[in-house]
Amino acid sequence: MVLTHNLGFPRIGAQRELKFALESYWKGASPRDELQALGARLRQRHWQQQAGLDLAPVGDFSFYDQVLDMSFTLGNLPERVQGFHGDALDNYFRVARGRSAHGSDDHHACCGGVAAGEMTKWFDTNYHYIVPEFTAQTAFKLDASRLLAQLAEARAQGVKAKPVIVGPVTYLAIGKAKDDSDKLALLPRLLEAYAELLDTLAAQGVEWVQIDEPLLVTELDADWQHAYNTAYHQLKGCRVKLLLATYFGQLLENQYLAANLPVAGLHIDAVNGRADVTPLLGLMPAHKVLSLGVIDGRNIWKTDLAAVLDWLEPIAQKLGGDRLWIAPSCSLLHVPVDLESEHRLDPEIKSWLAYALQKLDELKLLSTALNQGRDAVKDALAANQAAVAARRASPRVHNPAVRAAIARIDAELGRRKSGYAQRAPLQAARLKLPAFPTTTIGSFPQTAEIRQARSRFKAGELGEAGYKSAMQAEIARSVREQEALGLDVLVHGEAERNDMVEYFGEQLDGYAFSQFGWVQSYGSRCVKPPILFGDITRPKAMTVEWIRYAQSLTNKPMKGMLTGPVTILNWSFVRDDQPRSVSCKQLALAIREEVLDLEKAGVGVIQIDEAALREGLPLRKSQWKNYLDWAVESFRITANGVDDETQIHTHMCYSEFNDIIASIADMDADVITIETSRSDMELLDAFDDFNYPNQIGPGVYDIHSPNIPTREHIVQLMKKAAERIPAERLWVNPDCGLKTRQWAEVIPALTHMVEAARALRAVI
C-alpha cells in the first residue's frame, strides 16, 4: 500500500488563535497556563484534522519558531541568556524577541531584556527563523522535554506519530559562528546530542523520525558533502528509522549523495524537483522508502490530480506500494488552514484553490486511486478536472492589452535620465536635508482605533466618509508626532493600509483576496498573501490622495510609500500558469503608473519597498543571474520614469545582502535602507570590498523587539557604518516599519534616534 504522511501543519490556528494568545501573554494580560492550554488545544485539533494520514507530524507545533525549538532541544542557548533562572518558556521568548512577558522576572532587567536572536528568511520563503548562534566553545546538552511532551499528547489521542526535527547538517549551516570559527568543527559534538535524542525517541517506541535537511537542495562544497556522510553514518546505529526530508528545490548533483545516505527513507520535493525522481529510482537501494512530495506545500492552487496520477502510477508499479510514500512537497506551514472558512471569496476563484486541509484531501484521493484504482474516486477526480479546466479557460485570467504592454518593454523604460552623481546635487538642493538625515521606513503603530475603524468599515457599520476621516486623523497624529520628534523626512504612517502587499493587491485587477488566508511570517506575525490569479492592471491611483493630504500638513518632505513589484510578487500566492518574471513585469508597469502620479502630485521623495528581493533568489547560485536580471529590471521599470530631482528610496529587510550587493547597486535607487541592527552592522561587511555608489540607511533600531535602543548604542552603530560608507551618504532610520509596535515604545526609541543623529552631526 502507498502510504500518506505530512511534513508539518500550520501552527497559528484557522482563526489565528495562537497569534492572539501569544500577544496577550507578552502583554501580561493572560497567564502562562492559558497560553500552554491553547497550544495543547491547537495540537489536538490539528492532529484530528490529519487523522486520515498513515503518519502525522509531531513536534512541528511551535510557540515561535521550529529552529529556535531545535536550539533549545540541543541546549544551544546564547551566552547572554544562559544565566536566566526563570521559566524555560520565558527564556525562550527572550531569545526570540529580546524579552518575555510583562510582569516576568526579566521585565525590569537591563531596561527591558536582552538582545534578541538574529532573524532571517527560511531558505527562499517568507518565513523567518531565529538564527542559531555558535562559538568554538559551543557545547550541546539535550533537553527533549518539549518533543517528548508533544509525543505523549499525540499518543494519548491515538495519533500515528512521526516526530519532526531539523537535521544536524542543515542546523549547522543555517546558524552563525559569532567568533568566525569553523562551524563544521562542532559536528562531532552536535551528533552526540542528536544520537542521544534519537535513542530517547526509540526508547519511547517511535518507529519513524522525520529529519529535515533542506540544505541538500543547495550547492554544497566538498566539506559539507562530507559532513552529510559523517553525520548519517554516525547516526545509522540509532534504533529509529530516519526519513530524511528535502524540499524547496532540486537535488541535482546531490542526487547520489542523498540516495546513498544510510537512512531508511528519503523525501524529495517532486513539485519543484520532479526531474530528480527518475535518476533516484536508479540510485536508491532496494530497501529504501521514497517519499514524493506531490502536492504543492507553498501555493494554493488545486492540484491536477489526473496529471499527477498519470506520472505516479508507473512509479508505484516499479517501487511496489511498500516503498512509495506520498506527501505535500514541504510543510504546510506556508499555506492557510481551511478554504471552507472563506465565505466572501469570489466563488469562481475559490473553486480553483486548496488550503492545507484541502491539500490533505487531495493527498488522500491520490492514495485511494493508487491503492484501489481510479474508479474508487472517479467522481472526485472528475470534479477536480472540471475545476482545473475551468481555471485554464477562464477569460478573467488573460488580458490581451497587458500582454501587448509587456511585449513593448525595452531597456530605455528602466533608465533614469541621468546618473546618480548628476541627480544627487539636484535632490539635495530641493530637499535641503542636514547630514545624517533621519526618517522612518513607512508605517507607524496600527492602533486599536485604526483596527476598529477598518473592521467597522469592512462590516458596513462605518461609511466611506467616516472611515476616511478616521484615517486622516491618524495620519495627522503621525505627522504631528514626527514633527515633534524632529525627523527630517516624514511618512504618513500608512494608517489606511492593512498590509503592504494586500493593500495594493486590493486595488489591482488580476488579484483576489481571502478573509482567512493567514500564514505565519514569524512569531505572532501573520500575513494574508493576496491571490494573483490573472493579468495585472491598475484601474486608478492607489495612494496619491493619502500622500497629498499628509504633505498638506507639513512643510517637511513627505515620502510617497509604495511596495515594489518583486515584493508584491514574492509575498503573493502567484499564478503557476506563466513564468514569475512575466507576472513581475506586469506588476512593474502598474506600480510605475503610481510612481509617476505621485511625482505629478508634487511628491519629491518616493520609497518603493523591495523587502523580499533576496527572498526570491533560487537556492542555487548558478540560477541567481536569471532571477536577478528580471527582478532588477522590474524595479527599474517601476522607479526610473521620474525626473532627476525626485529622490527614489527602497527598503530591504532581514536577509543577507553581501552576495547580491552588485545587483542592489544596479537597481540605482538614490537611497536604500536595510536591516543591520540585529546583526550589529555585520551586513555592512559587503561594503569592505564593494564601493556602493549611492546613499544608504543602515537600520539602527530593531523594531521586531520591544527593547528601546539607547542614543549611545545608535551612535556606536552609525560610527561603525561610517567606517565603510562616507558619512555624507548615510541616513539614520529604523530597520523596518513600525506598525507592530506601540506608540509608547516608538516615541522614546525615535527620540533616541534623532538625538543620535544630532550627536553625529557634531562629531563627524
Catalytic residue among 128, 704, 713, 752: 704
600's torsion region: left (phi>0), alpha (psi -120 to 50) or beta?
A: alpha
596: three-class secondary structure by DSSP: helix
Q: 736 labelled as ligand-binding? A: yes
Q: Which three cell numbers stand for residue 625?
A: 543571474
Q: 443 labelled as ligand-binding? A: yes
Q: How far apart are CA 187 and CA 165, in angstroms?
A: 16
Task: Show the CA angle centred on residue 356, arms to residues 49 and 326, nearest 5°.
Answer: 85
Environment class of 493 (CB within 10 Å of its CB; exposed 0-12, middle 13-18, buried 19+): buried
Cβ pair 163, 59 in contact under 8 A: yes
Q: How many CB atoms lie within 10 A of CB 135?
A: 14
Cα radius of gyration rounded to whole Å, the chain = 26
Q: 663 labelled as ligand-binding? A: no
Q: 526 labelled as ligand-binding? A: yes
End-to-end CA distance of the chain: 72
Cβ pair 205, 162 in contact under 8 A: no
User: Is beta strand 208-212 parallel, antiparallel or unpaired with respect to 161-166?
Assistant: parallel
Sheet strand arrangement including 531-537? 509-512, 531-537, 573-574
DSSP readout, 491-513? --B-TT-S-TTHHHHTTSEEEE-
Q: How far apart are CA 267 and CA 247, in angstroms?
A: 8
Residue 567 host element (H or E): helix 565-570
Q: Which three cell numbers stand for residue 73?
A: 532541544
Q: 17 labelled as ligand-binding? A: yes
Q: 615 labelled as ligand-binding? A: yes
Which candidate, 506, 559, 571, 556, places its Cα nearest to that of 536? Answer: 506
Q: 394 labelled as ligand-binding? A: no
Sheet strand arrangement including 208-212? 3-4, 324-328, 289-295, 265-269, 241-245, 208-212, 161-166, 56-58
Q: Which long-range contacts (CB under 8 A, 24 or more apart) does 18-27 make?
A: 18/42, 18/63, 18/524, 19/524, 19/525, 19/526, 20/524, 22/63, 22/64, 22/523, 22/524, 23/524, 25/101, 26/93, 26/97, 26/100, 26/101, 26/102, 26/524, 26/706, 27/101, 27/102
Cβ pair 203, 243 in contact under 8 A: no
212: three-class secondary structure by DSSP: strand
Q: How far apart are CA 35 and CA 255, in angstroms?
A: 43
Q: 378 labelled as ligand-binding? A: no
Q: How far apart are CA 709 and CA 398, in angstroms?
A: 50
Q: How far apart are CA 748 and CA 714, in angstroms?
A: 13
Q: How far apart are CA 600 and CA 642, in angstroms?
A: 9
Q: 18 labelled as ligand-binding? A: yes
Q: 666 labelled as ligand-binding? A: no
- Does residue 704 have an active-site annotation? yes
What amino acid occupies position 687?
A: F
Q: 525 labelled as ligand-binding? A: yes
Phi, psi angle pair for 223, to nearest 5° = -65, -40
Q: Which three cell numbers stand for residue 728?
A: 555624507
Q: 651 labelled as ligand-binding? A: yes
Task: Show the CA angle centred on residue 717, arms to residues 426 and 672, nearest 5°.
Answer: 35
Phi, psi angle pair for 206, to nearest 5° = -70, 135
Length of the chain: 764
Q: How far apart are CA 41 and CA 27, in angstroms?
A: 21
Looking at the chain, the number of H-run helices and the number of E-run strands are 27, 22
User: Is beta strand 525-527 parallel, antiparallel or unpaired with respect to 519-522?
Assistant: antiparallel
Binding residues for L-homocysteine: 441-443, 494, 609
Catalytic residues: 704
Binding residues: 16-19, 121, 441-443, 494, 525-526, 571, 609, 615, 651, 653, 675, 736
Binding residues for L-methionine: 441-443, 494, 609
